[in-house]
Structures are given as C-alpha cells and as structure tokens.
Amino acid sequence: MAYSEKVVDHYNNPRNVGSLDKSADTVGTGIVGAPECGDVMKLQVKINSDGVIDDAKFKTFGCGSAIASSSLATEWLKGKTLDEAQEIKNTEIVEELNLPPVKIHCSVLAEDAIKAALNDYREKQGIPTVGNAKSVV
C-alpha cells in the first residue's frame, strides 16, 4: 500500500516527538492503544496560564499512519484552547493525510489520544472531564 506524501513526510520528519513532565499540573497525558494492531500512542499537551496549549509532544509505536496522525495532531494542538482542541476530529486528520479506509483507525487513535490528554489535564485541574472514553469514527 502506498502512503500519501504527507504521511511519508510526517513519518520521515515527525514533529514534536518527545515527552513532557507527566507529573506536572500543567501537562495532560493520554496513552491510548489500537486493539486491531496493538499500536500504542502517547500524546501530551502543556497548557499555559491563558488556557492555551503552548506545547505538545507525542511518541507512537506503530505504523506510518499512526505516527503521521499523532505528529499532525501535535502540530494542530499548539496554540489552541482546550475547547478548540476538543473539536479536532479524526475525519480532519484522514482528509489532511489522505488516509485509506484501512488506516482510518490510526486517526481515531490520535483523536482518542487528544481527548484522553485533555481529560487528564482537566482532572488534574479539577475541571469536569468531557465526553466518554470511546470515540466514534
């Protein structure tokens, strides 16, 4: 299967790979997995005093599409408020990366990771969490 150019670009030059301090109050961490393939993805956001995401990092052990989806997600997250970040949809990732149907679950994984990271931050801050754990395609 041929990957799109954008996937290859993110795969070869992943943006924002790394870790943030998981124990910091200002950092939200989401670790999620894909049961279909056993891939795991960690996505972290750091939120500043204005409620804006000023840093985002990821680490993904999985296929090219999973890496590209999470890399793209971290790019999109920076500069967004919690509410704006909450609105990122896996379908937008599919569109941007031209993911084929068999790789849609990679984008779902990235959306799940974003939501899990945001909720982790909310929990730390004592803000009510949003949505249930399972997202839909």
Partner 1 sequence: MNQTRTKNRDTFSVFDENGEIQLISSTVDHFAFFSLPRKMKIDEGGLEAKYYDYSRRLHPDFFTNAPASKRILSLDASARLNSAYKTLKDPIQRAVYLVELESGKLEENDSRPPVDLLEEIFEAQEAAAEYKCCEDDAEEAKNLRANLEAAKECFIAQRAGQRAALADLGARWDKAIDAGEDPPAEVIDKLRSVLGLRNYIDNILRSVNQALEEA
Is 37 noted as a catalytic residue in this protein? yes
Q: In the complex with partner 1, which residue's Cβ is closer, 13 or 49?
A: 13
Q: Does 103 bind partner 1 (CB under 8 A)?
A: no
> Is 63 designated active site?
no
* Position 39 contacts partner 1 (CB under 8 A): yes
Which SS3 state, helix, strand or coil, does residue 69 take?
Answer: helix
Q: How far does Cα 115 stand from its chain's mean position?
A: 8
Tell which positions 62-101 bind partner 1, by CB under 8 A: none
Candidate ranges 39-47, 50-58, 68-76, 81-89; the one touching partner 1 (CB under 8 A): 39-47
- Per-residue CA distances from 136 to 61, 81, 84, 125 (Å): 22, 22, 18, 26
Instruction: Check residue 105 for interaction with partner 1 (CB under 8 A).
Output: yes
Work out whether 33 is an interface residue with partner 1 (CB under 8 A). yes
- Region class of 77: left (phi > 0), else alpha (psi between -120 and 50), else beta: alpha
| Number of CB atoms found within 10 A of residue 58's CB | 28
Task: Identify how many contiguous H helices and E strands the chain contains and give both numbers.
Answer: 5, 3
Comparison of 31 and 52: residue with beta carbon closer to partner 1: 31
Residues carrying an active site annotation: 37, 106
Positions in the binding site for partner 1 (CB under 8 A): 31-40, 42, 59, 61, 105, 133-134
